[in-house]
Structure 1
Amino acid sequence: MMRFVQGKTALLVSAIMTAMLLTACDGDDGQMGSKGDSGVDGASGNNGLSALVSVTPLAVGHAQCAFGGQQIDTGLDTNSNGVLEMSEVDSNQTQTICNVTQNTLAVDLVGRYQSGVYGLSAAEIVDYHPLSQSAFVVNAQSGKVDVLDLSTLTQTAVQDEAGYSLNNIAKKTELNISVDTGLTLLGAVNSVSVSGNLLAAAVERGDALGNATQGNGIVAFYRLSESALPVYLSFVEVGALPDNVTFSPDGSVLLVAGEGEPNSAYDVDPEGSVALIAIEGGVPATTATVIDFKDFNIGGTRNSELNPLIKINGPGASVAQDLEPEYISVSADSQFAYVSLQENNAIAVIDIATATVKRIIALGLKDFGLDANKIDASDKDDAINLQAYEGVYGMYQPDTIASYRWNNTDFIVTANEGDARDYDGFSEEARAEDLNLDPNHPQFAAAQDKTQLGRLKVTTSMGDENNDGLMDKIVAYGGRSFSIWTAEGQQVFDSGSDFERITAALLAMNFNNNNDENKGDSRSDDKGPEPEALAIGQIGSHTYAFIGLERTGGFMIYDITNPFAVSFVDYVRNRNFDADFAIDTDTGEVEGDASLAGDLGPEGMKFIASQYSPTGLPLLLIGNEVSGTTVVYQLRLQ
């Protein structure tokens, strides 16, 4: 909804009408004679010049209007061609009318938990149990799940700087999965999901050769209740590196995305998989049905179905090994699962009833040569420099994926983060300046300039269209956006360059910042704001998408009620860009005072509907992996 600054529109209309009356009149007729006879007509006056008005929409992220608006120019049509040209504009009369905001949604910070652990993924994926009003937060590298008490939250909002140090949520307990299961070789907890009074947590596991994540992982199940602590039930073995778990909406099955990443040397590469664990009467089965992708291997019965835009590039890897399921969303009717294959720039559609792969969708490339898709490609230009680069593309490569229904049709929503294969034994990652670029490429010169394209991180596995050894396309990682697709893979919406334009307008040189220190414009060369977390929620009659920006921090809100009429709502963040700190994400060591930094690295999100909320209003729960904080935002319609 557009909101104009009160009074300006009426004044502008009045001014335009006055100008038209003064400048577009014919000459006066002669006066009547003194005895009633008609006098001699006066000479006809020259026709006046027409006043023209031009209204130019200002996009969201405009330098003067962060939430968009209109620029209204007026002037006289001096050349009488009916078009208001730049030379005819009266700049003294130009008015910029900014949308005060496009949102009808108020967003307030009401809760925050500080783990005190920085850079070690102490708050990643989150979920919520309504009966006990508890949040479950993956404390990944500890191998545990933290249980937080949200029952004491109120509708009282915390304002501005007070949010940086807020710590008003208590930790109830933790789930120590290694102790509860009695298993050895368990590693990080990667995901958690709640359905009714059943909780599932995905845990990676090493193999007998000492590889940390290449063994078959497990899913551990816990029984939840209103007042008692969670009770461990059982575990089920699944595929290698279970990266995401989610229950079907009807609670009848748990789905597990087995990423199956290779080891660092790239000489052990498990197959990617999707596991299904049946749930009957709230009790999980003892074994999983594991869906693989062997039929898509070379010589397999379905290999011909693979689109060449699906990136298969692991050295010596079969298709089944190369496909790496990342995240799962299940259709509202619990019939289909939509699985992001991030490294492969694709989505797999799973038929749950038959436990088969229905199709694999190639997401294609985003054209950064279009004005709507402009990017800042350099961290060395000391400027906000969004440009369209012909011949430069981005793989969408979504991480988090969600789905919803509109007009009885499923639509898939993706956070287009991007990810490279970068291992000791194999790396596809390079800078644009390192590519063997075709001399006829339109960015041949720009690719050698560090202030333009030279620093952009790109793949060496795509771009040589005619196999002559020269790159015909420059292909980068991620779409720097979120998208909406049909279940068949047709894109119906993409946010284009919104994220960079909006953060640049609001944060200036702090846009495209990294999440381990306040350096400013340090990620323009590498996936920009890096959208990763994603949640969808319905408030009233509207459906909203919440998209977390892993690097810059904060989250975007869009109204996606109608996937063909999507609108930007707000950008919300609780990050202090003036704080002086640096976090080592390998060791967790901190220089300076990171407790003043606010929330860094949103990784997981959960929308909590009002009927389940301890405050009586909808909530958005967010885990921030770099700051180790879990935050709760309250959402209310204005």
Structure 2
Amino acid sequence: MLRVSALCALCVLAPLADALELKPLSIYQSGFPAGTEIVSVQASSMRVIVSNSSQGLVDILALDPDKGLSRVARHQLLGEGAGEMTAVAFHPGEDWFAVCVRASDGLSNGRVEFRAAGDGKLLGSVKVGVWPDSLAFSPNGEFVVAANEGEGYVRDGEGLRSGEGSISLIDLRQGLAQARHSLIGLPDLAGVDGATQAAHQRLLERVIDGEELKIPFGTGPEHIEPEYVVFSPDGARAYVSLQENNAIAVVDVLQGRLQQVFGLGTVRHAADLADDGRYAPSAELFALREPDGIAVSADGRYLLSADEGDSDPKASKTKAGLPTGGGRTVSVFDAFSGKLLGDTGSQLDDMAAKAGVYPDQRSPNKGSEPEGVVSFDAFGKRLAVAALERADALALIDLDRPAQPQVLQVLGVEEGAGRGVLAPEGLAHVEHGGRHFLVSAQEKSGNVALFELLE
């Protein structure tokens, strides 16, 4: 059932004085209890596409600045046994979109499909690497880059075998019928400064044949896990987060090659590491950043990372002197050199606690867990918004001083925020007529929320 409703007044949490603020506008309810995962906005048509991985379908929504979100189409793309849809992206100007589809087993190549927005018809398909998990169009729509996570494991005799992580570059300059694919391999990251190393003693948690296993994490291609893709504003470079590897891969798009890989280092800041029913940041968090979502500032100068974390053991179980996984921060890097400029420290959890949405039960693990991030300029300021998966909230961040990013506001995405049952995942920004909108897909509620940034 399709409904557009106003957000509960209880979800509107007060911003800091004299600050910009995000205002909830409406919620689109998909009719499914979960699965609304990735969102992409086509600014020229003010349409939103949202994937539902559990149903194998996409919804296309109209974004009306005054009326909110309403569904204009629903396309069933995948049937049973046809793989899993992991990501979706609208072409920036044409009436079609792209989806990532991972194969049903852990070692086979996935594909990127191109489909018509009007009826979902398949227009083309390109075989890519193993387990594609994210994709993005270049700003002019001439290229697609997909992050092939390769994280599927299968039993191989007494041991385990995994696909290799890689990056797919698809050249669309000659049209869909002549799409050209290049697979960009990734090097062993042993010795890469700031990247995850064997000495960090991190583990991967994977379920194989119904059994939950802890797998020692190495540095070779079979342990490299590309997660998220974003382009520079000029389209010359694509940045790919290597989440568990605590690194960023940079692709020279026109040359079709890997330009560099830089590590992201560690964070140290005050944190709450105890599940005791209250927020008390009395411990020091020492952690690898391990970002999921990344973003590039509107001027192309800065790369932002949402430092979610994805490796084990959790913070409360990590050995003394070793970093845990997940910085609980949004970090700012020089987009050209990879140099760290600053991060939010404990502010995300501090402000979530102040807003009443801090998930204390997650304190021993990864806190509010920043999942995704977008960056844009508005009202004369450089800004970012991060999705806090476990706090069920969004965080508005001032980036005018990149070395000291300031969290201005945290607010719940809908009723029930702070209990970890909504899980904002996909996040998109769009500007229309001088107004700025944020769209957030809640993976665990089946909803999509619309917000406006106000002065």
TM-score band, normalised by shorter chain: 0.7 to 0.9
Q: Does 1:555 find its partner at 2:386? A: no
Q: Does 1:306 align with 2:192?
A: yes
Residue 454 of structure 2 corresponds to which residue in structure 1? 636
Letter in 2 for 1:128: V
Partners of 2:194 and 2:264 within 8 A in 1: no
| Equivalent runs, 1:608-627 vs 2, <5 Å | 608-611=430-433, 617-627=435-445
The aligned amino acid for 1:263 is Y
**Residue 251, structure 1, aligned to residue 173, structure 2:** no
Please tell me the residue identity of whatever aligns with 2:387: G
Q: What TM-score do you get using the length of structure 2 for normalisation?
A: 0.85
Q: Which of 349, 360, 363 is the aligned partner of 2:261?
A: 360
Counterpart of 2:230 in structure 1 is 329
The alpha-carbon deviation at position 396 of structure 1 amounts to: 0.2
- Please list the CA deviations of residues 137-157 of structure 1 after superposition, one character each: whole Å capped at 9, or x if unmatched: 010121221112324x517xx
Quote how far apart the aligned CAs of 1:405 are: 5.3
Greater relative contact order (Cα < 8 A, sep 6+) = 2
CA contact (8 A) 1:191 1:203 kept: no
| Contact 2:29–2:446 under 8 Å retained in 1 | yes
What residue in structure 1 maps to residue 84 of structure 2? 187
**Partners of 1:187 and 1:204 within 8 A in 2:** yes
Aligned ranges 1:194-233 → 2 under 5 Å: 194-197=91-94, 198-206=96-104, 211=105, 213-224=106-117, 228-233=118-123
What CA RMSD, in Å, does the superposition of the two structures yield over aligned residues? Answer: 2.8
Contact 2:398/2:407 (CA < 8 Å) preserved in 1? yes
Give the aligned residue type for 1:344: N
CA distance in 2, matches of 1:497, 1:316: 27
Paired with 2:417 and 2:236, the residues of 1 have a C-alpha distance of: 48
- Deviation, structure 1 residue 188: 3.1
Correspondent of 2:358 among 471, 491, 511 = 511
**Is 1:374 paired with 2:222?**
no
Which residue, 304, 320, 324 being the options, matches 2:221? 320
Higher strand share: 2
Report the equivalent of 2:6. Answer: none
Residues 457 and 192 (structure 1), Cα distance of their counterparts in 2 relative to 1, 3 Å cut: farther
1:174 aligns with 2:70: no
The structure-2 alpha-carbon separation of the partners of 1:176 and 1:575, relative to structure 1 and needing over 3 Å to count, comes to: closer
Taking the aligned partners of 1:284 and 1:535, their CA distance within structure 2 comes to 32
Matched, 1:148 2:61: yes
The answer to whether the Cα contact below 8 Å between 1:128 and 1:194 also exists between their aligned partners in 2 is no
Indicate the percent of aligned positions where both proteins have the same amino acid: 27
- Structure 1 residues 242, 269: closer, same or farther in 2, change over 3 A? same
Q: What letter matches 2:324 in structure 1?
A: A
Distance 2:217 2:282 in 1: 38
TM-score normalised to structure 1 length: 0.61
Number of paired residues?
422
- Name the counterpart of 1:93: none
* C-alpha separation in 1, matches of 2:127 and 2:226: 17
Distance 1:377 1:564, change over 3 A: closer
Aligned positions of 1:221-620 closer than 5 A: 221-224=114-117, 228-263=118-153, 265=155, 267-280=160-173, 283=176, 285-293=178-186, 296-297=187-188, 306-307=192-193, 309-311=195-197, 319-367=220-268, 373-379=269-275, 381-389=276-284, 393-404=286-297, 406=299, 410-420=301-311, 429-430=312-313, 456-458=316-318, 473-487=321-335, 488-507=337-356, 510-512=357-359, 521-564=360-403, 566-577=405-416, 600-611=422-433, 617-620=435-438
In the alignment, is the contact (CA less than 8 A) between 2:277 and 2:361 conserved in 1? no
> What is the identity, as a one-letter code, of the residue corresponding to 1:493?
G
Matched position secondary structure for 2:91: strand
Higher helix share: 1
- Secondary structure of the residue aligned to 1:609 is strand
SS at match of 1:124: strand
Cα distance, 1:174 vs structure 2 = 2.2
**Cα distance in structure 2, aligned partners of 1:556 and 1:336:** 27
CA contact (8 A) 1:274 1:291 kept: yes
Distance 1:113 1:606, change over 3 A: same
5 Å-filtered alignment, 1:7-18, equals: none
